[in-house]
């Protein structure tokens, strides 16, 4: 009985190694055949309605930020609070937070329950993109960088009205 078990194990094991063998003329993968790097302005929008996703993409396209996020996540309030706590988000006294940026992952988290209007979304996303552009957690640095992004949004609205 032991001999049969050992023989079966040997055959099963040797069959696995045999499957991995290839013919001698297998082509090597060259650097040109590998998957291309994602472009600097490609990002993922998760948890948004189709209208929210279209709006955020249009606003970011208009702002033309120096650094794009890798992902923009619309999350319910409970998940937003939990994520902010996990990342140890510091909100200055007297301020509230409807969105924040996690710099190491280049992720922008938006509290979908506190999403007020299209204009406020663009205003605050500009601020979050300012954090990415300056690679800083400083609110004043982010606001300085956001000024240009907000100006571009404002100019685009003026153009659309005329």
Give me the pLDDT at residue 40, please: 56
Q: How many residues does the chain have?
A: 162
pLDDT at 1: 57
Q: What is the pLDDT of residues 84-129, one digit of tens each?
A: 888 888 766 656 678 999 999 999 999 998 876 787 899 999 999 9
The pLDDT score that the predictor gives to residue 120 is 86
Question: How deeply is 26 buried, as exposed, middle or buried, from its count of CB atoms within 10 A (0-12, 13-18, 19+)?
Answer: exposed
pTM of this prediction? 0.71
Average pLDDT over residues 17-29: 43
Say yes or no to pLDDT of 160 above 80: no
């Amino acid at each position: 009985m032991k001999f049969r078990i050992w023989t079966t194990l040997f055959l099963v094991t040797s069959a696995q190694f045999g499957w991995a063998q290839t013919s001698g003329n297998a082509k090597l993968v060259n650097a040109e055949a590998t998957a291309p790097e994602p472009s600097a302005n490609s990002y993922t929008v998760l948890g948004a309605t189709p209208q929210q996703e279209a709006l955020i993409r249009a606003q970011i396209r208009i702002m033309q930020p120096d650094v794009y996020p890798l992902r923009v996540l619309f999350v319910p309030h409970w998940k937003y609070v939990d994520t902010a706590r996990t990342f140890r988000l510091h909100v200055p006294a007297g301020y509230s937070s409807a969105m924040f940026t996690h710099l190491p992952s280049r992720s922008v988290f938006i509290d979908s329950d506190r999403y007020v209007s299209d204009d406020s979304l663009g205003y605050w996303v500009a601020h979050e993109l300012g954090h990415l552009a300056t690679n800083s957690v400083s609110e004043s640095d982010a606001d300085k960088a956001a000024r240009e992004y907000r100006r571009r949004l404002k100019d685009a609205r003026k153009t659309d009205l005329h």
